[in-house]
Structure 1
Amino acid sequence: MFFQPRPTLKKISILQSYIHHQIIFLPFTTNAITNQQNSHTDSPENINLIITKVKSGTTSDQIFQSLNHDQTCNSIPISDNLLSQILNRFKDDWKSALGIFKWAIESQKCHTPLPKSHEIILDILGKTKQIEKMMSQLKRIHHHHRHDVTLSSIAKVMRRLCGVGKWQEAVKLFDELHTFGFEKNHESMNLLLDTLCKENKVEQARKIFLELKSHISPTVHTFNIFIHGWCKVNRVDEAHWTIQEMKGYGFSPSVITYSTIIKSYSQNSNFGKVYELLDEMKGQNCPPNVVTFTIIMCYLTKFGEFEDALGIPEKMKLFGCEPDTRFYNALIHTLAKSGRVQDAINVFEFEMLKFNVPRNTSTFNSMISMFCHHGRDQDAINLLRKMGNFENCKPDIQSFNPLLKIWFKTRKVDLWLGDLLDEMINKYQISLDLCTYTLLIHGLCRVNRCEWAYGFFEEMIGKDITPRYYTCVLLLDEVKKMKNYDAVDCIEGYMKRMKSS
């Protein structure tokens, strides 16, 4: 056992739970009643019914028309929860998501989507690099639903613009904030700086900050953004200089500040500096927290320093830190990588429950990955089935990928793959992403099932998910062996378009 329980832990957790419900849920009783009234409309049956009417590979307008002319779909009352769930199902398929979104707005004129739904569709368009459509959608929302453009929506759009190298347009959007009813203040400035720094545009962010700081006062968060940015581009000296700058403004480094630099040193396997910073934090009366120790343990594990990694729980005790879900997830991963499978099982099945630490999807995924790595695929399947029984802990794409890998490796494709894919797509409404399509195509090619692989290739390009060039080369070689000349022409044509673009 890595941690000894405190006698009053359960009482504390019950009290915290009670307080949490008093503070958070009582003021929103109207919403709670509305949610109860709408819960039957958000049933999996209704969600699945709408999803089955959507054919991937068609245009967003065709999907809109298909849903719009379907009497059964139009009889389903649209709630924001239902719309959000369906949009998240198609988070890697912008055509389906946009068609569904347009239908949801048009099918029931009395339904006005909440900002959450608008944010989701903007993020999907940005994630799938449909930048022009994302900007058009932002303008449309502003024109028709002025109050539904939130600062969070703007932040998502700026992030996606930076992600495709259009950081100047992100800055322009910040300059035009007043047209959306927002002010240029420390909150919106920090959003822009954070967006730029996360996309490695730290120097550009610095120049903008120097222009704005005379009329927008920085906060401690402003400096932490820059510290994270400098560390991300591996310029730790600049991060240390930023700490001195923040002190000049009267701010003290926080545990977030130190943990960011500790992460940078850990990424570079400079654990001597990490332990120096831990001592400095203690001296500055700024003790590390569970996040700090989770970071250190993760990177010790990454570099194979398992003994030191498994010593982290003892170090945590010295600082009075209690483990949380993320820490336990990291501990399970460390135990698994070091070959201590039974210890990992004990943490998962007993210790987390003993401390009343909730298990989440990532916890289960770590266990599934461990079982697959050690060839215990039946244990992984059993855990996946068990996971499906938890309301707030449903499988995601990462739950299934380890099983896909092991079955391709052991050539159990015909035995399991069809059922597994059916479960992913139809039971849990999981949208296949680039990594999973790549895994499927490569795996199927290796087991001489290139017809099936080519079907996934067609599905990918129908969703505008661009396959990796090597995937195209591999598949092309396989369909040539099968003398499938239509597939050869299709793949070669697609590869030519990839080169030209």
Structure 2
Amino acid sequence: MAFFAIARRFHKPHPKQFFPFLPHSVTQPPPPCPCHPRLVRHFLGTFHRAGLLLSRPRPQTPRRFSSFQPSYGQSLRETIDFSACVNENHQSHQNPILRVDDLLAAVRKADQFSSVGEAIEFLDEAGLQANEDLVFLAVWALRDEWKLAFLVFKWGQKWDRLGENNCSLMIWVLGNHKKFNTAWCLIRDMHRSSLDTGRAMLIMMDRYATANDPGKAIQTFQIMEKFKMIPDLKAFHMLLSTLCEYGNIEEAEEFMLLNKKLFPLETKSFNIILNGWCNISVDVCEAKRIWREMAKCCITPDATSYTHMISCFSKVRNLFDSLRLYDEMKKRGWAPGVEVYNSLIYVLTHENCLKEALKILDKMKEAGVQPNSATYNSMICPLCEVAKLEEARTVFADMIAENIRPTIDTYHAFLEGANVDGALEVLVRMKKAGLGPTRDTFLLILGKFFKLKQPEDALKVWVEMKQFEMVPDSAHYNLLVEGLANCGLLIKAREYYAEMRLNGIIDDPKLKKFLQEPVQHSSLQSKKDPFGAMRNVKRGRWRSSAMRRNRGGKHPYRPRKTKSVKLKT
């Protein structure tokens, strides 16, 4: 195959990459079974602290976990997504009869009362009529203020105007603020009222994983039988997915192996773990280990397995193995999807094989696979990273000609190689396209100019932020003040620090200490990195900023000269 001849030119042993892992909580003994009295007390003991009966108890009937009937391919993220319900009720929010804004105003006034009873009585006297849609929209609007959201929930509960959606949303809000005891109280009352608690249990697993507590997420799965639910394979897969999504991949893998008698090992379970190592942690060594484990367990990889592995190899710029698995995938009869082609296009472009990447694009179209914005971004991003702006503009023009809409990542890629005038031009195009610019866009630009020791250009962009209706937040001010101080403009840095305090932004003790120290200190500059916010913006890119250094490692990294960027349309 012609591509293997190209790949062999770049084939060389890839250094092992190790990534920091979260605490290995499953090294402790496995959680007790659902019937263990200590576990039951741990989760259910709080239920007796507050009576929140939603309605009169009805006879209990055993239910399976999937009683809320999500589609087979529905992910955990789709199951607990409330945005669809919010969009459905968006017109209701503007309905003067529903009076959502009036309820929100009344709730903020009611917060002044010392007791919940007085606050609820105040809401009753406001002349508002409770219903499920009104309570749902108000709780959603107050999701960042859990106490006010819970007050609205209690008001709706008083008038028996709560459904499963309302309860699930309130549990999600409480989980976001780590108020798990109160959330378990609501689940207890949903169970007593014969409301389906399946979605609520999924939310608890997800919120525990978000709070970096995989052990509690696993115990939530095991306690389902106490709520007359049978944990099935779909629930098992959703638990593995949410553990991996938040970085608890080791815990998910061990839980899968410990439960192989109840849930026999199969391809889909391994694919979830493989996706964690390939696309979340991007640890090629662990991904290879899982691939070998699948062979030991006689588990046959499918198209999804190959997609994950090719994606991982492309992200670490391993062209040889990416093409090898692509060829093996086709020989086994699996048709490559758009994700596979995008990975190949990226790694080929990155390894200076743009012509071959364009051939893959043609082959992709011949196979009936429609390119998307990520396909063209897979060429534009690596081209802009090495300042090949002419080629990037040509690909951008082809993208527009194919009626494929650029994304915010497309414009961010061009910002990396633009000078101040080119950056402002890109910002104008972003605004016309309805793609920002966002707060992350300005973090990216400011961080780039400070890294290149161009504080004057950074200040020009700062002034232009108002033209794009962007109000600087604490991250912008921190980056600006530290950048100015590192460039020797300590007086200017103190002026913007004073402006930050004047605008009501919380004082940063580290920043204040930094301003009090001398500016001429190369050692401090090497220890402290004022551009962490910029790297956070780029974290979702194919390459991290650490990977942009020369591959050979023989020459020091030198900031490239910027060029003016003009996008062809």
Q: Same fold (TM over 0.5)?
A: yes
Question: Corresponding residue for 2:288?
Answer: 237
Tell me the C-alpha RMSD between the 2 structures. 5.0
Q: Find the structure with the greater CA-based Rg.
A: 2
Q: Alpha-carbon deviation of 1:240?
A: 2.0
| AA of the residue aligned to 1:277 | L
Q: Alpha-carbon deviation of 1:316?
A: 2.2
Q: Alpha-carbon deviation of 1:344?
A: 4.8
| AA of the residue aligned to 1:140 | C
Over residues 334-393 of structure 1, what are the superposed CA-to-partner deviations in whole Å (9 max), with x where a residue is unaligned?
454431353354245432x2xxx5x48xx13422552474132443343343344xxxx7
In structure 2, the CA distance between the partners of 1:444 and 1:453, relative to structure 1 (3 Å rule), is farther
Question: Corresponding residue for 2:95?
Answer: 41
Q: Report if the CA contact (8 A) 1:368-1:384 is conserved.
A: no
Q: Report if the CA contact (8 A) 1:226-1:242 is conserved.
A: no
Q: Alpha-carbon deviation of 1:204?
A: 3.9
Q: Report if the CA contact (8 A) 1:243-1:253 is conserved.
A: yes
Partner secondary structure for residue 317 of structure 2: coil
In structure 2, the CA distance between the partners of 1:112 and 1:148, relative to structure 1 (3 Å rule), is farther
| AA of the residue aligned to 1:224 | N
1:261 correspondence with 2:325: no
| AA of the residue aligned to 1:382 | V
Question: Corresponding residue for 1:496?
Answer: none
Over residues 378-420 of structure 1, what are the superposed CA-to-partner deviations in whole Å (9 max), with x where a residue is unaligned?
43343343344xxxx7876545544665797430366334565
Q: Alpha-carbon deviation of 1:442?
A: 2.1
Over residues 156-201 of structure 1, what are the superposed CA-to-partner deviations in whole Å (9 max), with x where a residue is unaligned?
4334434554222222111112234432211122222333444555
In structure 2, the CA distance between the partners of 1:416 and 1:266, relative to structure 1 (3 Å rule), is same
| AA of the residue aligned to 1:366 | T
In structure 2, the CA distance between the partners of 1:243 and 1:65, relative to structure 1 (3 Å rule), is same
Distance 2:497 2:129 in 1: 41
Q: Report if the CA contact (8 A) 1:316-1:322 is conserved.
A: yes
Q: Alpha-carbon deviation of 1:276?
A: 0.6
Q: Report if the CA contact (8 A) 2:175-2:208 is conserved.
A: yes
TM-score (norm 1): 0.62
2:411 pairs, out of 367, 378, 390, with 367
2:500 pairs, out of 438, 453, 478, with 453
Q: Report if the CA contact (8 A) 1:158-1:170 is conserved.
A: yes
Distance 2:506 2:128 in 1: 27
In structure 2, the CA distance between the partners of 1:70 and 1:326, relative to structure 1 (3 Å rule), is farther
The more displaced of 188-197 and 272-281 is 188-197
Over residues 447-500 of structure 1, what are the superposed CA-to-partner deviations in whole Å (9 max), with x where a residue is unaligned?
44002334678548xxxxxxxxxx64233333789xxxxxxxxxxxxxxxxxxx
Question: Corresponding residue for 1:382?
Answer: 428
Distance 1:48 1:343 in 2: 53
1:140 correspondence with 2:185: yes
Q: Which segments of 5 or more consecutive residues in structure 2 lack a partner in the other structure? A: 1-84, 450-454, 485-492, 519-569
Question: Corresponding residue for 1:477?
Answer: 514
Partner secondary structure for residue 161 of structure 1: helix
Q: Alpha-carbon deviation of 1:277?
A: 0.5
Question: Corresponding residue for 1:441?
Answer: 478
Q: Alpha-carbon deviation of 1:289?
A: 0.8
In structure 2, the CA distance between the partners of 1:424 and 1:417, relative to structure 1 (3 Å rule), is closer
Question: Corresponding residue for 1:21?
Answer: none
Partner secondary structure for residue 41 of structure 1: coil
Q: Report if the CA contact (8 A) 2:345-2:357 is conserved.
A: yes
Partner secondary structure for residue 412 of structure 1: helix
Over residues 408-440 of structure 1, what are the superposed CA-to-partner deviations in whole Å (9 max), with x where a residue is unaligned?
7430366334565xx457xxxxxx9xxx63333
Question: Corresponding residue for 1:26?
Answer: none
In structure 2, the CA distance between the partners of 1:371 and 1:265, relative to structure 1 (3 Å rule), is closer
Q: Alpha-carbon deviation of 1:323?
A: 0.8
TM-score (norm 2): 0.56
Over residues 53-111 of structure 1, what are the superposed CA-to-partner deviations in whole Å (9 max), with x where a residue is unaligned?
989xx9xx99x979x77999969985477457635xx7xxx4x3x14422442455558
Q: Report if the CA contact (8 A) 1:202-1:229 is conserved.
A: yes
1:283 pairs, out of 331, 340, 356, with 331
In structure 2, the CA distance between the partners of 1:84 and 1:387, relative to structure 1 (3 Å rule), is farther
Distance 2:481 2:130 in 1: 39
Q: Name whichever structure is richer in helix by fraction.
A: 1
Question: Corresponding residue for 1:490?
Answer: none
Distance 1:287 1:371 in 2: 36
Aligned-pair identity in percent equals 18
In structure 2, the CA distance between the partners of 1:292 and 1:444, relative to structure 1 (3 Å rule), is same
Over residues 193-218 of structure 1, what are the superposed CA-to-partner deviations in whole Å (9 max), with x where a residue is unaligned?
33344455545434433442323344
Q: Alpha-carbon deviation of 1:291?
A: 1.0
Distance 1:278 1:294 in 2: 12
Partner secondary structure for residue 333 of structure 2: coil
Over residues 248-282 of structure 1, what are the superposed CA-to-partner deviations in whole Å (9 max), with x where a residue is unaligned?
36xx4222110111122223322211111011011
Q: Which segments of 5 or more consecutive residues in structure 1 lack a partner in the other structure? A: 1-30, 426-431, 461-470, 482-501
Q: Alpha-carbon deviation of 1:241?
A: 2.4
Distance 1:141 1:303 in 2: 55
The more displaced of 112-121 and 315-324 is 112-121
Distance 1:149 1:404 in 2: 50
Question: Corresponding residue for 2:522?
Answer: none
Distance 1:326 1:42 in 2: 42
1:209 pairs, out of 252, 256, 259, with 256
Distance 1:140 1:418 in 2: 47
In structure 2, the CA distance between the partners of 1:196 and 1:245, relative to structure 1 (3 Å rule), is farther
Partner secondary structure for residue 239 of structure 1: helix
Question: Corresponding residue for 1:194?
Answer: 241
In structure 2, the CA distance between the partners of 1:346 and 1:34, relative to structure 1 (3 Å rule), is closer
